[in-house]
Amino acid sequence: MAGRIEHPTLYKEGSAGPILLAARCAACGRVSFPRQTFGCEACGAHGDAMADAEIPARGALISFAVVRKHMGADIETPFAIGEIRLEDGPVIRCTMAHGLDPAALHAGQTVAGVLAHNPKSGADVLELRFAPEGK
């Protein structure tokens, strides 16, 4: 997909979908997203123990909320914010895909990252969103 990644320190385009730029602790294996440079939140290891890691933007939807009124002008309402447990462990909160019917969402559902153009951000900007896998 052609466009400029909105947050290149957080994610990039991969051949099978978006890739999240994370960190993995060599001492205990914990994955942190976004990258943590100060040290591992689980065991306290730091410095060379923290290695860059690329993880798939895929996981299970824990819960979500539908936003019907929003003060910002950068996104049209309604939209959904999801809480997702990524396959590699971290739990994140993110905006779900534009135009997604909230009735199509349910806890436990597998969701995957998609790169989408947000008409409010500019045609060349690619934002990371999540949608039910296969949609």
Give the residue-averaged pLDDT of 107-129.
88
pLDDT of residue 2: 73
| Model pLDDT for residues 66-95, shown as the tens digit of each residue | 999 998 888 888 999 999 999 999 999 999
Bond preceding residue 102 cis, omega within 30 of 0: no
Q: How far apart are CA 34 and CA 12, in angstroms?
A: 13
What is the biggest distance separating any 2 CA atoms in the chain, rounded to whole angstroms? 45
pTM: 0.90
What is the residue type of 8?
P
How far is the CA of 98 from the CAs of 53, 94, 127, in angstroms? 28, 12, 10
Question: For residue 90, which of 7, 22, 9 has the smallest C-alpha distance?
Answer: 22
